[in-house]
Chains A and B, each alone.
Chain A
Amino acid sequence: MMRELAKNKITLASAVFILIMLIFALFAPLIATYDPTRVDTKFILSPPSSQHIFGTDTLGRDIFSRIVYGARISLSIGFIAVGIAVLIGIFFGSIAGYYGGKIDSIIMRFVDIMLCFPTLFLILAVIAFLEPSIFNIMIVIGITNWMGVARLIRAEILTLKERDFVACARVMGASDMWIILRHLIPNAIGPVLVSATLGIGGAILIESALSFLGIGVQPPTPSWGNILMDGKSTLGVAWWLTIFPGLFILFTVLSYNLLGSALRDILEPRLKN
Chain B
Amino acid sequence: MDTLKINNLKTYFHTKEGLVKAVDGVSFNIKKGEVFGLVGESGSGKTLTALSTLKLVPAPAEIGGEVFFNGADILKMSEAYLRGIRGSKIAIVFQEPSTSLDPVFTIGYQMMEAIYAHRSPEDRSRARKIVLGYLERVHMPDPARIFHNYPHQLSGGTKQRVMIAMALINSPELLILDEPTTALDVTIQAQILDLLDEIIEKEKLSILFISHDLGIIARMCDRVAVMYKGRLVEMGDKADILNDPKEPYTRSLLESVKALA
Contact = CB atoms under 8 A, between A and B. Distances in A.
* Contact residues of A: prevailing secondary structure: helix
B96 A164 contact: yes
Interface string B25-49: 0000000000000000000000000
Contacts of A163: 99
A183 B99 CA distance: 13
Interface string B123-136: 00000000000000
A38 interface: no
A187 B86 contact: no
Interface string B65-97: 000000000000000000111111001101010
B99 A164 contact: yes
A183 B84 CA distance: 19
Range for the number of chain B residues in contact with chain A? 20 to 34
A241 to B, nearest CB: 48
B82 to A, nearest CB: 8
A168, A170, A182: which has the most chain B beta carbons within 10 Å? A168
A141 B104 CA distance: 31
A116 interface: no
B86 A173 contact: yes
B166 A172 contact: yes
A136 B22 CA distance: 57
Interface string B106-131: 00000001100110000000000000
B114 A187 contact: no
B118 A173 contact: yes
Given A164-B94, A182-B113, A171 B54 contact: yes
B171 to A, nearest CB: 14
A175 interface: yes
A174 interface: yes
Contacts of B99: 163-165
Nearest to A171: B92
A169 interface: yes
Given A164-B94, A164-B96, A182-B113, A172 B103 contact: no
Interface in A58-76: none
A186 interface: yes
The B contact surface, by secondary structure, is mixed
B56 A170 contact: yes
B255 interface: no
Nearest to B51: A171
Which of A169, A175, A178 has most B Cβ within 10 Å?
A: A169
B121 to A, nearest CB: 17
B101 interface: yes
A10 to B, nearest CB: 29
A90 B69 CA distance: 39
A186 B104 contact: yes
Interface of B: 54, 56, 83-88, 91-92, 94, 96, 99-105, 113-114, 117-118, 163, 166
29 contacts: A164-B94, A165-B99, A165-B100, A165-B101, A167-B94, A168-B100, A168-B163, A169-B113, A170-B86, A171-B54, A171-B56, A171-B86, A171-B92, A171-B94, A172-B86, A172-B87, A172-B91, A172-B113, A172-B117, A173-B83, A173-B85, A173-B87, A174-B83, A174-B87, A174-B113, A182-B113, A183-B102, A186-B102, A187-B103
